[in-house]
Structure 1
């Protein structure tokens, strides 16, 4: 019986990994290395390509809002299966550049699928996992984000040798195979429970803690954007490296992204979620400062790897923080995680446009953007220190989960 339970939990975790890889890792991050090819192949004008890139972020925001209502109607399992199919279909349709409107619609739908997957997947799976393994399990579920970033710097350039349409189709085939492989692995339990009887209002300290978590997640979004968007250009034009060497830094970033979710998840299990979060933020501030100030190749490589761990690594830590703030209340956890995902999506999109404007306004000063990102991460660290001072209710589902 115990072995059967472990097998079911493992399959559920693998389903979550596949979903995050298909709906976010590939659907979002594989687009970045395709941008030059889309312009060179004259599929779309340069301005349209940037506009189409934003479609996925807008869809992701919509998905973060729509995930829980959709799961309440269809059930979490069927919703997640459908979203993986939708993301896979979007790859195939993007192989046909019929018009800007057509491409925008399917990029939007791929983002919608990713947002819904982000909101539902982990909270559908984690109740099936023993408490002492939930940090590692969260890391494994969101490993798909890191694998997608890594694939964007390795697999996608190889596929482009076969042509742009073949690349989109190849990504579609890969996504469809992952969808079918994980189809029966999803647990039956819904992510959102039926409406419960009216309860007492959330204690003021819990509401304060949740607001700090949302604000901190927004600051993380602002902090990670400049490194994620401008890293290769910073190496190539800001530090005057050749194009090939600069591109290798994206591969290093991808390697860090692959390591991040599991590393941060294990830190959460060993140190407690709060301690792990503060360690992660402190290291990120130091790495971002090193990226701005250093010129030595070894320091830049190390800083890039560390920074790469952050975008996918903070997801299991933030989810863990929410679970420990609202212990034994799955509907409240689901609602809070949906809000956090929405906040992150909104501020990431706003930051992307703000940084692009600032980059042009400063005449291409990469270091200004990197410095702003480092300050945002430092503010997130300060807010976490404030969060640590909040009096917490006892955590019943994870004895090592200290804030």
Structure 2
């Protein structure tokens, strides 16, 4: 964990809280960091080893995104039947099994199913992990702690650019199995680290009925701007996340070796993102942080579309890398500000936000792929579309805030 996060959390926190934070970090590392991002550097090896054709390998990558959507939908119902901790443990085990299963390319359907299940595990973890850990953390430190939890995503991106190439020297099958071993070790090490007792992600039937009852429509309206902005964030992050390596290798003519270094830089940004975004949330509040991040990221992605200098592209790559992992604690904090003190409502809203994000992320993945094909491999066009999506998100948030403030002012004068 970064020194920024450690210093911000370190207020004589009980050892149990630290164990819970590391359990959450390992869950996001396994379920999203490795399960999703380790596939990117493995893709060329799968094709070169003739395990799958290029087109089949791309569809197998998309299977994880589809599974993520299913996991986002299924996470809370699973927790209601069992409990958060049992589901989180099971999902980490499921990812490990998926890695071991992918070491044996029995068939396309076999591989697709296990990639789908690994995505499902990641979606369920995303919905449940913060709600399991954060109730045990002081309110003033929830932003930085949620950043520490989702630092695991960034560590997974960085690991995919460093550990995976090293494992590939042992062979493709050994790489899949090595990733499975890493998951087993981390799962075992954090098995008893989860907090017990106070958790908010799986409300009682009565609470769920109340949250879905008469106030459901007003609650949706209250959170709708968050759902919209988070979904547009998903549309904005896909091109850099999926096409950056190819853009550097072929678009800039830098070759595969240098492009792999850029992927590591992207991973460095992904490590910086969660604790730094969480820190700014604690200092300045969620809404100002959301606006600043949207503007910064829109400019960074637009820079990828317009610039050609490799050093500048490298700097922008680090900035862009902070986004996929950093927006998670950012949006969580925004939801908490919208429903202060209402843990059940916060978790319902976070679950819905994750579903909207996952749905548009999967749709955007296919849409960008189609645009890329029809444009003759125009990376810069994809970055321009992504920057526009982020600016649209910023415009929508500012407009809605303005209209709501104006309405509140009119009501106050009317009284």
- The one of 94, 102, 110 aligned to 2:102: 94
Q: Which residue of 2 aligns with 1:192?
A: 202
Q: In the alignment, is residue 53 of structure 1 matched against residue 66 of structure 2?
A: no
Q: In the alignment, is residue 371 of structure 1 matched against residue 384 of structure 2?
A: yes
Q: Which residue of 2 aligns with 1:334?
A: 347
Using the TM superposition, give the Cα deviation of residue 159 of structure 1 relative to its aligned residue in structure 2, in angstroms.
0.5
Using the TM superposition, give the Cα deviation of residue 158 of structure 1 relative to its aligned residue in structure 2, in angstroms.
0.6
Q: Which residue of 2 aligns with 1:399?
A: none
Query: Separation in 1 of the partners of 2:236 and 2:335?
Result: 20
Using the TM superposition, give the Cα deviation of residue 172 of structure 1 relative to its aligned residue in structure 2, in angstroms.
0.5
Q: Which residue of 2 aligns with 1:395?
A: none
Query: Separation in 2 of the partners of 1:298 and 1:355?
Result: 26
Q: Which residue of 2 aligns with 1:112?
A: 120
Pairs within 5 Å for 1:154-169: 154-169=162-177
Q: Which residue of 2 aligns with 1:266?
A: 279
In structure 2, do the counterparts of structure 1 residues 209 and 366 end up closer, same or farther at CA, with 3 Å as the change threshold? same
Using the TM superposition, give the Cα deviation of residue 3 of structure 1 relative to its aligned residue in structure 2, in angstroms.
8.7
In structure 2, do the counterparts of structure 1 residues 4 and 271 end up closer, same or farther at CA, with 3 Å as the change threshold? closer
Pairs within 5 Å for 1:308-347: 308-347=321-360
| Deviation digits for residues 116-144 of structure 1 (CA, Å, limit 9, x no counterpart) | 00000001110100111111101011111
- The one of 195, 208, 218 aligned to 2:231: 218
Using the TM superposition, give the Cα deviation of residue 4 of structure 1 relative to its aligned residue in structure 2, in angstroms.
8.5
- The one of 34, 40, 56 aligned to 2:48: 40
CA contact (8 A) 1:146 1:258 kept: yes
Q: In the alignment, is residue 149 of structure 1 matched against residue 162 of structure 2?
A: no
Query: Separation in 1 of the partners of 2:395 and 2:218?
Result: 18
Query: Separation in 2 of the partners of 1:3 and 1:224?
Result: 34
| 1:154 aligned counterpart, secondary structure | helix
Q: Which residue of 2 aligns with 1:64?
A: 72
In structure 2, do the counterparts of structure 1 residues 4 and 136 end up closer, same or farther at CA, with 3 Å as the change threshold? closer
Query: Separation in 2 of the partners of 1:349 and 1:137?
Result: 28
Q: Which residue of 2 aligns with 1:282?
A: 295
| Deviation digits for residues 344-391 of structure 1 (CA, Å, limit 9, x no counterpart) | 111111111111111111111111111000000111111222354446
Q: In the alignment, is residue 76 of structure 1 matched against residue 81 of structure 2?
A: no
Q: Which residue of 2 aligns with 1:183?
A: 191
Normalised to the residue count of structure 1, the TM-score between the two structures is 0.93
| Deviation digits for residues 37-94 of structure 1 (CA, Å, limit 9, x no counterpart) | 1111111222211121111111111110110011011111111111111111111111
Using the TM superposition, give the Cα deviation of residue 201 of structure 1 relative to its aligned residue in structure 2, in angstroms.
4.0
Q: In the alignment, is residue 246 of structure 1 matched against residue 256 of structure 2?
A: no
Query: Separation in 2 of the partners of 1:260 and 1:67?
Result: 25
Report the more deviating stretch, 378-387 or 48-57: 378-387
CA contact (8 A) 1:253 1:307 kept: yes
Using the TM superposition, give the Cα deviation of residue 234 of structure 1 relative to its aligned residue in structure 2, in angstroms.
1.2
Report the more deviating stretch, 186-195 or 365-374: 186-195
Report the more deviating stretch, 183-192 or 35-44: 183-192
Which sections of structure 1, spanning at least 5 residues, go unmatched? 392-403
Query: Separation in 1 of the partners of 2:156 and 2:339?
Result: 31
Query: Separation in 2 of the partners of 1:312 and 1:125?
Result: 18
| 1:196 aligned counterpart, secondary structure | helix
In structure 2, do the counterparts of structure 1 residues 363 and 33 end up closer, same or farther at CA, with 3 Å as the change threshold? same
Q: Which residue of 2 aligns with 1:11?
A: 19
Query: Separation in 1 of the partners of 2:153 and 2:281?
Result: 18
Which sections of structure 2, spanning at least 5 residues, go unmatched? 1-9, 406-415
Query: Separation in 1 of the partners of 2:14 and 2:293?
Result: 30
Query: Separation in 2 of the partners of 1:96 and 1:166?
Result: 10
Normalised to the residue count of structure 2, the TM-score between the two structures is 0.90
Q: Which residue of 1 aligns with 2:320?
A: 307
In structure 2, do the counterparts of structure 1 residues 81 and 203 end up closer, same or farther at CA, with 3 Å as the change threshold? closer
In structure 2, do the counterparts of structure 1 residues 168 and 126 end up closer, same or farther at CA, with 3 Å as the change threshold? same
